[in-house]
Amino acid sequence: MKNIFATQFKEYRKKLNISQEEISERLNVTSQAVSKWECEKSYPDMQMLVDIATLFEISLDELILGKKDTCVTNIPDDEKLRLVLCKGKEVVDSSEYDVTMKIRLDGKCESLEISGNANITGEIIGEVHASGSINCDAIRGNVTAGTSVNCDEVLGNVNAGSGVNCDGIGGDVSAGTNIVCDDIGGNVACGLTIQCDNISGSVSCGMTITCDTINGDIKECNGDIHVKTLNGKINKCEKALYLKGDTQPE
């Protein structure tokens, strides 16, 4: 523990760009005491450890154990708005808030939870939750967005407050407005229109359905149905129009 403290103390003193003499004045100790701390010849008492952590604006865990704490602990309390990128409880990066700023995520990332819009270049191997829109290349888990979802591929389920526009979705899809996709592997529920190549599950739609193939049932549709192949049944619909009825419903 003494070795970790000495390393952390020296590192953060240098980050502040102050000498041993200057830091001794701030902490009201002798410069010899500061030198002994860094050389592992002595160790501060508990109150002094608290004072040092406060001076460096870090947690006691980080000071004496080398463990970074929560996002809040590692950020100065200066009332500035910041964009903060965390991995678990560890702050990876933070910058002053700028509405035009984009946070770059290098390589594959694990699950993300974002307050606002998510504009991501790359692949997410876990889940993504955003209070706004989500724009991404590929997402291997489930997706939840307060507004729209625009991605190349989503392997899990998608739940969007407004529209969904993706190449392929492996699971179920629920959207408040329109859905435009190539292939959907699960069930689909949509507030307005659906335009897809193939849907493996059942479909409920507030307006028009335009698809090549639907393998499940059309549970509800309040508009026209344009489908080439329907392998399930139509339960409740206002109108139905088959462009090429390879399989007609009962």
14 vs 72, higher pLDDT: 14
Domain residue extents for the chain = 2-65, 73-101, 112-247
pLDDT for 210: 93
pLDDT for 248: 47
- pTM for the whole structure: 0.60
CATH of domain 2-65: 1.10.260.40
Report yes or no: 138 and 124 within 8 Å, Cβ to Cβ: yes
Is residue 87's pLDDT more than 70? no
Report yes or no: 118 and 128 within 8 Å, Cβ to Cβ: yes
Closest CA to 141 of 153, 131, 133: 153
Q: Is 63 helix (H, G, I), strand (E, B) or coil?
A: helix
Closest CA to 196 of 212, 178, 172: 212
Is residue 10's pLDDT more than 80? yes
DSSP string, 137-184: EEESS-EEESS-EEEEEESS-EEESS-EEEEEESS-EEESS-EEEEEE
Please, which residues bridge with residue 143 across strands?
128, 158
Average pLDDT in the chain: 83
Calpha distance 194→223 (Å, rounded)? 11
What torsion, rounded to 10 degrees, do the Cα atoms 97, 103, 109, 113 define? 40
Q: Which two tokens stand for residue 87?
A: 């991995």
Is residue 104's pLDDT more than 80? no
pLDDT for 240: 61
Calpha distance 213→181 (Å, rounded)? 12
Is residue 69's pLDDT more than 60? no
pLDDT for 161: 94
pLDDT, one tens digit per residue, over 205-248 is 999 999 999 999 999 898 889 999 999 988 877 666 665 544 44
Which residues have C-beta within 8 Å of that of residue 63, sequence separation ≥ 6? 5, 8, 9, 12, 49, 52, 53, 56
Query: How far out from the chain centre does Cα 20 lie?
Result: 42
pLDDT for 75: 61
Tell me which of 87-101, 130-144, 179-193 is least confident.
87-101
Tell me which of 118-127, 172-181, 238-247 is least confident.
238-247
pLDDT for 250: 43
Is residue 78's pLDDT more than 80? no
pLDDT for 60: 80
Length of the chain: 250
pLDDT for 158: 97
